[in-house]
Structure 1
Amino acid sequence: MSCMKFLVEEDEVNLRLDVFIAGKMEDKSRAYIQNLIKEGNVVIFGKVKKSNYKLKLNDVVEFSIPDNEKLDVEPENIPLDVLYEDKDVIVVNKPQGMVVHPAPGNYTGTLVNALLYHCTDLSGINGVLRPGIVHRIDKDTSGILVVAKNDAAHNSLAAQLKEHSMNRVYNALVEGVIKEDSGTVDKPIGRHPVDRIKMAVVKDGRHAVTHYNVLERYANNTLIECKLETGRTHQIRVHMAYIGHPIVGDPVYGYKKQKFNLQGQMLHARKLGFIHPSTGNYIEFSSELPDYFKKILKLL
């Protein structure tokens, strides 16, 4: 039996225990997870809790995976679009549809599987399931990620993320025509008060700031550039939906009726800049819009 441990963060407070575990084991049924809890395989500070237990800030949730649940992550020969690599970092351009790291029950086809095949040295700070992973972008968001190849690089990059000094710029196609040329959404983000799987703008959420500029206006859509000042879960998706301009193709925060046959939201992490962990120099990378994005813009 293998164990996993998670610290409850601000945006997870008051989440039901079974919902919290479901977020870590995305392909498992609610019944499976509730049974895992019922059998005493989930503890908080060493004590068994019920499925409906409401999480508190800094709770330490530990759960045991039965032996028939594989916990090893295997290297896979999956093509990688590598923009830069040295002894400290590797910068990759992630395609839409690829999950960044494995979760219990879902161990294949992820960016981590591909990275383990590509290079043998990755930071061990985030454990066996997330080696080298400093930050994430959603499965259906494409674009640039930096991965740490050793613990010193990981700590340096994590500190830059915490200080909001990393330069992260996205392109998004949103619904409707934005009238102003630029704007800022400064609204706190936390768990949705009703649908606890979703994020939302909530009064007691975590500080979140998104700056945006209009690049192109179409008949019913707007192409924008977004710069993250903070990095909350689903931040751009939540903020744009909040101001009435959800991202085209977003299955969670977007329009229920979509006019294009898309696999997910039209959101691309186009630019990433940071201080190199060893040299101390600022380096920046960019990637052009992927084909799925260009195709829709051409249609418009």
Structure 2
Amino acid sequence: MAMASIQDHNDSVLSSLEPGDQVEFERALYCHWGVYIGDGNVIHLASVDGQSFNKAEKAVVRKDKIMDVAGNSRLNKNNSKEEKYGLKAYSKSEIVKRATSQLGRTGYNVFASNCEHFASWCCYDIEISDQVRDSIQLTTMAAEIFFNLEMSPREVQRQNRTVLKSLTEGDLVQFDRGVYSHWAVYVGGNEVVHLSGVDGAMGSHMGHSCTISGVEYGKGIVRRDNFWDVVSDRMVHKNNSKDEELEHFDPPEIVRRALSQIGEVGYNLIFKNCEHFASWCRYNIEQSDQVEYLVTGSILALMAVAILAALHIGGQ
């Protein structure tokens, strides 16, 4: 984005801010956070000299002009944790009071006490950093792939039997495929319903590294298949993790929705893949975390390391 456009954007955001709003500054590989307190000022956890990349332990809570902190990067108002985590924020005046009370406080830890943790604490009394959570999740995904490769076929099969025994109708099932995951809905009787390849449960391109649901482009169909025909020789997991943030249907309704789509043809990597299908069956929302990671470029495990390394507080 051109400098003039960034400045126009930041001016517009600044005019919309109220004291107590959380403010997010877009950096190259991470975001810096602060709390707007009015009169063009922000309180944030930043490096003492405002420039250092290697003196994070000397971080201090300080007050600065918001435009000085923004510099050449985009500024955004971001109070999204309220809705995302169902949190109740303090009143705007109390948020400003809490932020101000920390002025001069020193200390920094990229995992437990970074600038986003500080802004979250001021607003909700809970220290949350989505950047750290996302980075850890990506690193965990990479570790799981490596761990899966290190397990013997017998160990993988034993693990998958345990997962199958734990499944109940309506559960979402995640099948590891190396650099991506295939998703399905468990409908009972050791069977799953999923959006898969037209050539069979495994699809003709199930191992293709550029697919997400095992099919290429528009060649997909909703099928009912035996669990073991889909699992192949890779690990499988029960994954209803979105239950924490989304309301789900009752199991009979989830199964009914999945079965009602059998024979439906169509596939789009970005808008209609196997994870979108499974999510729609359980939550009535077509959501694919894999696509979000792919689009943002954060699917690479190395990016997770880069984000953590870059989550310094120097340069504000």
Into which bin does the TM-score normalised by the smaller protein fall? under 0.3
Bigger radius of gyration = 2
Higher helix share: 2
Greater RCO, CA 8 A, separation 6+: 2
TM-score, normalisation: structure 1 = 0.23
Higher strand share: 1
TM-score, normalisation: structure 2 = 0.22
